[in-house]
Amino acid sequence: MSFDLREVEAGLAATGFAGHISHFATVGSTSTLALEAAQAGARTGVWVADEQTAGRGRGGHGWHSIAGDGLYVSALVTPPLPITMALWISLATGLAAKQAIQQIAGVDADIRWPNDLLINGKKCGGILVETAVTPAAEARSEAMLRYAVIGMGINLNHKTFPDEIAPIATSLRIENGAPVKREEILIMLLSSLETELHLLANGHGDGLLERVTGASTWVRGKRVHVEESGGYTGITAGLDARGFLLVQGEDGVLHTVLSGGVRERL
């Protein structure tokens, strides 16, 4: 359960996160700490905890947090992006997490749009991005992102889960049979995340949506049920230009999914 902050700092020495990493044994939520820092004027930072007592996911869902068994981390970033690209931050984080899991644990994770990480159909991780906007200076200008807090939880070394979530949850240790060092996967995750955000901020994110489509079995050709708009069922039909998921509904309508809640319907 021990966490070597010096190892993480050394591994991230060449990134903008170096010198801005805080580790805690127990917190309510790492994202709450990151949001408080952002509102106080911080521009970057990483908050990682052995345990969260009030971790949160998309839609207000909680996150099963066992001390030392998972990676519970939030990163504060301030890339110069229009607020219309906020969703792209979540998608880019999914790609970074997938790469980190593959490189460190040797496991191929699937991305369930927009923010879930699955292995063999079971959830092993989730992403929650919370943003603030800087209003447009002029009527014709575009509102810009003030900051984004990227909360990430990945099940690393859980051997079992509570009965109520065991059928739908897994961990990297369950999947590959070996323990995973939090330090190693955190270093790879943050390094990959910085690369992805750098590409977006410098106008080289044109291929992001294509890469997400290639990295996810959920983006095209999967029969799903979507909870929003009263609920509907259909076949996923790719991403639109903004990164939102399209679903060709059984009602004959091409729906744009705006808020997640996508589940497979066999």
Residue 229 has a pLDDT of 87
Q: Report the percentage of the chain scoring pLDDT > 70.
A: 94
Polymer length of the chain: 266
- Could you tell me the domains of the chain? 5-214 (3.30.930.10), 218-264 (2.30.30.100)
Residue 79 has a pLDDT of 94
pLDDT at residue 147 greater than cutoff 60: yes
Higher local confidence (pLDDT), 246 or 85: 246
d(CA 98, CA 112): 11
Residue 139 has a pLDDT of 59
Q: What is the mean pLDDT of the chain?
A: 92
Helix (H) or strand (E) holding 167: none
pLDDT at residue 60 greater than cutoff 70: no
pLDDT-derived band at 205 (thresholds 50, 70, 90) equals confident
d(CA 70, CA 173): 10
Asked if residue 160 lies in contact with residue 166, where contact means CB atoms within 8 angstroms, the answer is yes
pLDDT at residue 87 greater than cutoff 90: yes
Exposure of 39 in the CB half-sphere (CA atoms within 13 A)? 8
Strand pairing class (21-27; 220-226)? unpaired
Secondary structure class of 43 (helix, strand, coil):
coil
pLDDT at residue 140 greater than cutoff 70: no
The two most distant CA atoms of the chain are separated, in Å, by 56
Residue 259 has a pLDDT of 85
Higher local confidence (pLDDT), 219 or 67: 219
Residue 125 has a pLDDT of 96
Q: Report the percentage of the chain scoring pLDDT > 90.
A: 83
Query: Mean pLDDT over residues 102-119, rounded?
Result: 97
pLDDT digits (tens, 9 = 90+) for 10-27: 999 999 999 999 999 999
Asked if residue 115 lies in contact with residue 58, where contact means CB atoms within 8 angstroms, the answer is yes
Task: State the DSSP code for 56.
Answer: B
Strand pairing class (144-155; 122-134)? antiparallel
pLDDT at residue 120 greater than cutoff 70: yes
Higher local confidence (pLDDT), 198 or 204: 198
pLDDT at residue 57 greater than cutoff 60: no
Single-letter residue type at 54: A
d(CA 79, CA 93): 13
